[in-house]
A = this chain, B = another copy of it.
Amino acid sequence: MAIATRTVTEACAAAKGAARDMARADDQAKGRALERIAELLGERSDEVLEANRADLDDERARSLGSALRDRLTLSDERVRAMAEGVRAVAALPDPVGEVVEERTLASGIEMTKVRVPLGVVAVIYEARPNVTVDCAALCIKSGNAIVLRGSSYAQRSNAALAALVAEGLESADLPQAAVQLLSGGRDELAELATQEGVVDLVIPRGGEGLKDALKAVATVPVMYAAAGNCHVYVHDDADLEMARKVAVNAKVDRPGVCNAAETLLVSDRVASDFLPGVLEDLAAAGVELVGDERARAAAGDAEVGEASAEDWDTEYLDLKMAVGIVDSLDAAIDHVNSHGTGHSEAIVTSSEEAAEAFAGAVDAAAVYVNASTRFTDGFEFGMGAEIGNSTQKLHARGPIGLRELTTTKYVLRGDGQVR
């Protein structure tokens, strides 16, 4: 893989060429490639870890904060987890060739709507080397070629991993060019996002800055994942013990991810019973609390600051939560639809009617009844790994797995029909 010497345009063109062979590859060949990649991750983990150490020892990487440095860091265990992930993807059903619809048209033509790969998928991501392997595995299994644009901080780790992926492809007689790694330079974004007719989809995995940069220049399709300003609403008939567990889990299990809850809404009828306990748990877990006037009045011993108007629209991605009181189910739904980002929203209730009303009216990729918002995830949804999470309404909404990396083609067989 002559990474450094290729332009983005050359890399994308090479991927496009390889995409035709990938689209035709049968599940056995793709399975062999993936199994070999998993094996290579075991056999050659030393190479990968050495490259990773070089990334970590680089002058620039020394200035990274501890969370970012941790994300960049690989270990034996993390490499093993990657290999397991690759095998898990290999074990999933092949989406390519799946017949979505089939019928005989009035004209007598036999119509089949069949899943086919998108072609060339580009992923832009931060300094997390495991993403290199996760995304490559999903794209191989779904018959796509992939252009990986990781962070320059992880360049050596990514190159080592992409080399193993290419070797795995070759061992199954699949084109090595189906995986392309870019160097991670800033100037690559615009070139990548304007490969019309070559790149079929760009998936940005990163912050708002990356999304804004792409929106300004992209002429190829981009699947944007909005931030996750997720809510847990506790209805007046909720099992309050369950509500407490769900609210705390949704906030503190992993506060830095997009399916974590940012706002707790509580029915005014149960606020004084419910809030003191749950806020105590949240505070004990280190959560900074802000609330509206009524929430602060019902908070008991917990310290709750004053919520500003912006708090209701903020994805903290941190141990902070806004707490609001609502007068009715409709008010809760309105709040969620006004302030939410369409990611994951939860209600805790013992009423089927309230559950139906909330699930029906809330406009989001995933709506939970009596469960934590934290389950919006390709693994949890049984889709294997995910390449991202979409809050768009078009194409895919929710985790982007194998099927979401395909499109469809109508194949129509006739015996000479004309109009």
Contacts and interface: CB of A to CB of B under 8 A. Distances in A.
B416 A20 contact: no
A105 interface: yes
A359 interface: yes
A355 B413 CA distance: 9
Interface stretch (A47-55, A80-88, A375-383): A375-383
Contacts of A416: 239, 242, 245-246, 370-371
A286 to B, nearest CB: 18
A249 B418 CA distance: 6
A411 B367 contact: yes
Interface string A342-371: 000000000000010001110111111111
Contacts of A248: 418
A119 B363 contact: yes
B414 A369 contact: yes
A370 B419 CA distance: 13
- Among A111, A371, A381: residue with most chain B CB under 10 A: A371
Interface stretch (A61-69, A71-79, A271-279, A391-399): A391-399
A201 B367 contact: no
Contacts of A359: 409, 411
Interface in A242-298: 242, 245-246, 248-250, 253
A410 B105 CA distance: 32
A182 to B, nearest CB: 22
Interface string A85-111: 000000000000000000101110101
Given A20-B361, A219-B215, A394-B394, A367 B419 contact: no
Given A245-B416, A416-B242, A119 B369 contact: no
B381 A418 contact: no
Nearest to A201: B394
Contact of A245 (B250, B369, B418): B418
Contacts of A413: 355, 368-371
B371 A417 contact: yes
A55 B394 CA distance: 36
Given A201-B394, A410-B365, A419 B107 contact: no
B392 A221 contact: yes
A415 interface: yes
B364 A418 contact: no
A247 to B, nearest CB: 10
A144 B23 CA distance: 35
A418 B372 contact: yes
Interface in A11-63: 20, 23-24
B407 A393 contact: yes
A393 B221 contact: yes
Nearest to A419: B374
Contacts of A210: none
A408 to B, nearest CB: 6
A213 interface: no
Contacts of A3: none
Contacts of A107: 371, 375, 380
A118 B397 CA distance: 11
Nearest to A239: B416
A126 to B, nearest CB: 23
B119 A380 contact: no
Contacts of A111: 381-382
A412 to B, nearest CB: 5
Interface of A: 20, 23-24, 103, 105-107, 109, 111, 118-119, 200-201, 215, 219, 221, 223, 239, 242, 245-246, 248-250, 253, 355, 359-361, 363-372, 374-376, 380-382, 392-395, 397-398, 407-419
8 contacts: A221-B392, A366-B409, A367-B412, A368-B412, A370-B413, A370-B414, A371-B415, A394-B407
Given A111-B382, A359-B411, 9 more contacts: A103-B382, A118-B394, A119-B393, A364-B409, A366-B410, A375-B417, A394-B407, A397-B407, A397-B409
